[in-house]
Chain A
Amino acid sequence: MNSKKWNTVATGILYFIAGVMILILAFLLIFILWNGLPHVSWHFLTTPARSFQTGGGIGIQLFNSFYLLFLAMLISIPISIGAGIYLSEYAKQNWLTSLIRTSIDILSSLPSIVVGLFGFLVFSIQAGLGFSILSGALALTVFNLPLLTRNVEESLNSISESQREAGLALGLSKWETVLRIIIPEALPGIVTGMILGAGRVFGEAAALIYTAGQSAPALDFTNWNPFYIASPLNPLRPAETLAVHIWKINSEGIMPDAAQVSAGASAVLIIAVLIFNFGARFISARVYGKMTGTK
């Protein structure tokens, strides 16, 4: 065979592999949505779960998932941006910073159940936070921080060195250059990473089972005082999230419609994660246009 034929064969194989991947993905998506969407209704999305009867919803779990996500991102975004800027712009190449980078890489590959047990020991027990949203948010921070930090660092690294030189040569200080030239140019990448990280956190279950807990006590949506025990905003109450709920009803659910609830909740989870992913693309394109003046 000549090289032209080989090229055709190789291209064909690559297309085949890509096609298999897309098929598997499409099958999973369609399967989950097909089974779950018929059970999703406004009633399903807003009512509390029921343990023994049919007709329970996922209202509280859905709220918990978003609130937990919000708190986790509130803690991890500033830290990851600070750490990423340090690693990319200020850290010198020496054994200490390479140790930091290696630690971050190891942390980012920790299984989430290990992060969950660590969070249980440190936040729930040692720090006395118990099964609470705060414990869960801290565990998710441990889970998410390494990836977010690396994302910020790599987004900043992808900006050409000549941009830094341009800023410095105009008499700007290093910090001004980083803050006003490098970060704005890296922002689309940073935002994308943050949103994808949010999607990952949203679907996380194992890290939360022993930290945020597996129970969703009834919430009083009329009282938003964070110190009131049944307040939705109380960060010290236990909070089962959507992903944990799916895991729980599949392992020990005794309501008659457990299968339907699980399917519906899975569909909602998948849709939320999809929204995060498409949102990431959309927002990052908007940010890029805004930052570069191309739109």
Chain B
Amino acid sequence: MQNYSADDKFIRELDPKDHEISISTEDLHVFYGDSEAIHGVSLPFERFKITALIGASGSGKSTYLRSLNRMNDNIDGTRVTGKIMYRDLDINSQNINVYEMRKHIGMVFQRPNPFSKSIYDNITFAPKRNGVHGKETLDELVETTLKQAALWDQVKDGLGQSALSLSGGQQQRLCIARAIAMKPDILLLDEPASALDPISTSTVEDTLLALKDRYTIIIVTHNMQQAARISDYTAFFHLGNVLEFDETSNVFQRPKITATEDYVSGRFG
């Protein structure tokens, strides 16, 4: 891999008049102990759009994503500086109720991680803990979220069976349903299809496209075709910097930065 200058970057500005910004970061740095994993990233994420974070392994895209809902807080020795603006609030500040914030910013992980409970309980578990009660309300919640996650038809007759009996792709869609059952604004997905076969991957992609009417979606992917297929914006991460952020068609067809061009054309990564 040749060296690319971190100063050589292109970040498209999104004019707030034309683009409603759901969440954005300003000069976000992430440190693991003494080493700096993210070197000051400022990005806007438009509401009801899919933004893909692409880049080679170790480029910091997952680290960046995990800091958006402060999942990095749980790792000893991790420090995040800079601002994460959500609804005019810096959610990276100390006095934020992290648990409350995560109800607005849901997350789906690389490996499907359903609870070892029934399908029904997987979805209703967190809403119940937050005061959603009543069998009818919960039944309806299960049905709508499973439909949104394109899983309803396959599991509607076996909602009581263990979530672990589902296939990997079904489990991942259950995790998406579980996340949207909390009615978040933003959905963060960390390579949600990387552990899945091509058919399951394409179902998950269809699910995400259907979901973007209601949710702001930020997805980390190492699959460039996937980013090109489903995202509206793409950010290219390289060694802890974002070198290019633009509309997806521009990033893939007319990249302005050499590093991006080399990456999307498969010269490294």
Using CB atoms and an 8 Å cutoff, list the residues of chain A in contact with chain B: 92-93, 160, 162-173, 176, 180-181, 185, 291-294
Contact = CB atoms under 8 A, between A and B. Distances in A.
B164 interface: yes
B145 to A, nearest CB: 13
B18 interface: no
Interface string B108-128: 010101111110010001100
Interface in B182-200: 182
10 contacts: A160-B113, A163-B115, A165-B71, A166-B109, A166-B115, A170-B178, A170-B182, A171-B101, A180-B129, A293-B162
Nearest to B160: A293
A169 B162 CA distance: 21
B113 A291 contact: no
A169 B107 contact: yes
A279 B81 CA distance: 53
Given A185-B116, A292-B116, A293-B161, A170 B179 contact: yes
B2 interface: no
B175 interface: yes
B79 to A, nearest CB: 15
B129 A172 contact: yes
Contacts of B102: 168-171
B109 A165 contact: yes
B113 A170 contact: no
Given A168-B71, A292-B164, A92 B129 contact: no
Given A169-B71, A170-B178, 13 more contacts: A165-B71, A165-B74, A168-B99, A169-B109, A170-B126, A172-B99, A176-B129, A181-B125, A185-B115, A293-B117, A293-B118, A293-B160, A293-B162
Contacts of A173: 99
Given A169-B69, A170-B106, A171-B103, A292 B117 contact: yes
Contacts of B129: 172, 176, 180
A284 to B, nearest CB: 14
B100 interface: yes
A168 B74 contact: yes
Contacts of B107: 165, 169
Contact of B130 (A160, A163, A171, A181): A171
Interface residues of B, number: 34
B7 interface: no
Contacts, number: 77
Given A170-B182, A171-B182, A173-B99, A162 B161 contact: no
Given A162-B111, A166-B175, A170-B182, A92 B76 contact: yes
Interface of B: 69, 71, 74, 76, 99-103, 106-107, 109, 111, 113-118, 121, 125-126, 129-130, 160-165, 175, 178-179, 182
A92 B76 CA distance: 8
Contacts of A181: 115, 125
A168 B188 CA distance: 14
Contacts of A169: 69, 71, 102, 106-107, 109, 179
Nearest to B181: A170
A170 B177 CA distance: 11
A291 B109 CA distance: 23
B126 A172 contact: yes
B78 to A, nearest CB: 13
A92 B74 CA distance: 11
B108 to A, nearest CB: 8
A162 B175 CA distance: 12
B116 A171 contact: no
B110 to A, nearest CB: 9
Contacts of B69: 169
Contacts of A166: 109, 113-115, 175, 178
Contacts of B179: 169-170
B76 A171 contact: no
A48 B184 CA distance: 68
A168 B69 CA distance: 10
A92 B130 CA distance: 29
Closest 4 CB pairs of A and B: A171-B103, A293-B118, A162-B113, A170-B126
B118 to A, nearest CB: 4
A180 to B, nearest CB: 7
Contacts of B121: 293
